[in-house]
Chains A and B, each alone.
Chain A
Amino acid sequence: MKVLVAVKRVIDANVKVRVKADGTGVETTNVKMSMNPFDEIGIEEAIRLKEAGKATEVIALSAGVQQCQETLRTALAMGADRGILIQTDAELQPLAVAKLFKAVVEKEQPQLVILGKQAIDDDCNQTGQMLSTLLGWAQGTFASKLEPNGDSLTVTREVDGGLETVALKMPAVITTDLRLNEPRYASLPNIMKAKKKPIETLTPDELGVDVSPRLKTLKVVEPPPRKSGVRVSSVAELVDKLRNEAKVI
């Protein structure tokens, strides 16, 4: 089984994100970038499938600027076998990414595609679902457990009401949730080995995909600052404030 895992280069989770002064987006100059944490979980799951003898090859896939190579290199150091970068300076929206990934899927013919449930930059939570629809494949989103058995896949999903277990026919698209696994960090020997692993570079043109944006960003603003709280002296006062001031109960 060939597994394709999408990895996105995003602002590091520990960075305090700032909105650009002109309101066109967030500040990314001199900001630490890392692999989207949900994608790290995706890579980890694929490597575990390979270690368990269930996957034969793990391919890391990214789309975006040239520096996404760094993200792919991290995936290779974790244990992926090779990388593919669809290189473009264009702004990529989920639908465009899904179309690009579909083109790569058709080329590579994996049985399983794993994506993060969302990227921590725009929090869209769309690409996996769009990709599965474009491919006409089954989807198991928000996965917290994966069990491949032959041609099918049992996926435990984290849904609002608790856990839902679904059986999917492969090929399938999976999106990872936080509790699927705890990703490893690259060991020194694997970091050195990653240097020799290949990264193939493609372009949207080569894949015949129009990536022009369908959505227009009007303005990006900081969320309103949180007002400081008040101390209440009794439960009765709390209930009163919730009912009459906040009007939430």
Chain B
Amino acid sequence: MAIDFSPTDEQRMLVETVRQFVEKEIFPYEAEVDRAGDVPEALGKQIRDRAMAQGLYAANMPESVGGGGLDAVSMTLFDRELGKATWGLAGYVGRPSEILMACAGDQIDRYLTPCVRGERKDCFALSEPDAGSDAMAITTRAERRGGDWVLNGTKHFISGVGTPDFAIVFAVTGVEESGGKGGGRPRKRITAFLVDRDTPGFEMRRGPRCVSYRTYNNYELSFTDCRIGADQVLGEEGAGFDLANRWLSGTRILVAATCCGKAERALTMATEWAATRKQFGQTIGRFQGTSFKLADMATELRAADLLTLNAAWKYDHGTMTSGDAAMAKLFASEMLGRVTDNALQIFGGMGLMEELPVERFWRDARIERIWEGTSEIQRHIISRELLRPLES
């Protein structure tokens, strides 16, 4: 069959396991941590340990390095279930950056393996105050000094749960001689570095509070004459962006998949409410104003699911383009915005109360259109893919 949407036995059981894990180990704590604005260390550790016992930790990493070895479609189904929970807690079901697969030599034992085992935690440090969507505008630089590198600059919005043990830092290490394409600004050479938290000259502090995922931390990292060895370069000097781009599409599928899971959770709650809440002598689901909303929510969710699975399927077959991942991320995150807004509307005043998780879903959904590439950047990627072949 050319198009087969049925999951395999393994995928079906995987979904069941993640679903039960999330319902048992995460849902009961969501409201309290969100209210407190912080995750107690013991709770984070408990989620991490139990995820490890279930083999759910580092499920995204290849089996050869001790990970779960799931393909992109299975990982998408996994993330869809995990995504139903708040990132502030789901983040403890660890997911090392796939970019760490570029580790070589003793970097494998120092960074890659401990991350897969949950002994160390990485963070991905690309964004800067003046370089968000325009990632090429980063100004953090690394200069050679003797055999070492010296880092200077600031990173922000470096998000994750708990406190990272080291950062994967992107820094400018030079300018290409040939200059940029089409006579634009000169193309920077960007390199990825592995920088341990205790390196002198490396400071890390909590960033401002975020309205979405209140307990998902974001850090500001600053580097002041931070000296690191030549063996801290991840991949090749000057190849940092290629390295990042190789897996950025994967994280866009991840965002799309989690948005689908979150939308399903909101839709389920809204549907149950519409089927039981009575006004004017009948359930509000009997009013077209409510029922048609539900129909639209379900339809859009289905569309987002199919877009996301299609991108993942193409990823597994080596045919996915940046546009495929961008379409999934764009549509799923915008769909989640509409679905959570409609869910809140169906709940009426109760939807805004902290007694129900609906207001949290609505708040949390907002960041999905911003991180991992804003909706505007996704549209840019998609449109470039359309136009580029026709432009001379």
By a beta-carbon cutoff of 8 Å, the part of chain A in contact with chain B is 69-70, 73-74, 77, 185-192, 194-195
Contacts and interface: CB of A to CB of B under 8 A. Distances in A.
Contact of A186 (B17, B53, B69, B70): B17
B9 A188 contact: no
Interface SS of A by simple majority = helix
Q: What are the 3 tightest A-B residue pairs by CB atom distance, in nearest-first order?
A: A188-B55, A187-B55, A189-B55
A186 B21 CA distance: 10
Contacts of A77: 13
A189 B69 CA distance: 10
B54 A188 contact: yes
A185 B81 CA distance: 15
A188 B59 contact: yes
A187 B18 CA distance: 9
Given A69-B9, A185-B21, A186-B13, 10 more contacts: A73-B9, A77-B13, A185-B20, A186-B16, A186-B17, A188-B59, A188-B68, A191-B10, A191-B17, A195-B10
A74 B12 CA distance: 9
B17 A192 contact: no
A187 B20 CA distance: 11
A210 to B, nearest CB: 32
Contacts of A69: 9
A172 B378 CA distance: 64
Nearest to A69: B9
Contacts of A73: 9, 13
A187 B17 contact: yes
B12 A188 contact: no
Nearest to B70: A188
Contacts of A195: 9-10
Given A185-B16, A185-B17, A192 B10 contact: yes
A25 to B, nearest CB: 24
Interface centre among A69, A189, A191, A192 (most CB of B within 10 A): A191
24 contacts: A69-B9, A74-B16, A77-B13, A185-B17, A185-B20, A185-B21, A185-B54, A186-B13, A186-B16, A187-B17, A187-B53, A187-B54, A187-B55, A187-B56, A188-B14, A188-B59, A188-B70, A190-B55, A191-B10, A191-B14, A192-B10, A192-B69, A194-B10, A194-B13
A70 B16 contact: no
A185 B12 CA distance: 13
Interface string B129-167: 000000000000000000000000000000000000000
Nearest to B16: A185
Contacts of A191: 10, 13-14, 17
A57 to B, nearest CB: 21
B39 to A, nearest CB: 23
Nearest to A34: B16
Nearest to A184: B54
Contacts, number: 42
A194 B21 CA distance: 19
Contacts of B69: 192
A109 B349 CA distance: 63
B17 A70 contact: no
Interface string B17-55: 100110000000000000000000000000000000111
A191 B56 CA distance: 11
Nearest to A192: B10
Contacts of A188: 14, 17, 54-56, 59, 68, 70
A187 B57 CA distance: 11
Interface in B58-82: 59, 68-70
A210 B91 CA distance: 55
A32 B20 CA distance: 15
B207 to A, nearest CB: 33
B55 A74 contact: no
A189 B55 CA distance: 6
Contacts of B55: 187-190
A50 B119 CA distance: 31
A119 B56 CA distance: 31
Contacts of A192: 10, 69
Contact of A70 (B12, B14, B53): B12
Contacts of B21: 185
Nearest to B24: A185
A7 B46 CA distance: 32
Nearest to A190: B55
A240 B178 CA distance: 96
A85 to B, nearest CB: 13
A216 B13 CA distance: 36
A139 to B, nearest CB: 32
A192 B70 CA distance: 10
A174 B20 CA distance: 27
Contacts of B16: 74, 185-186
A188 B59 CA distance: 8
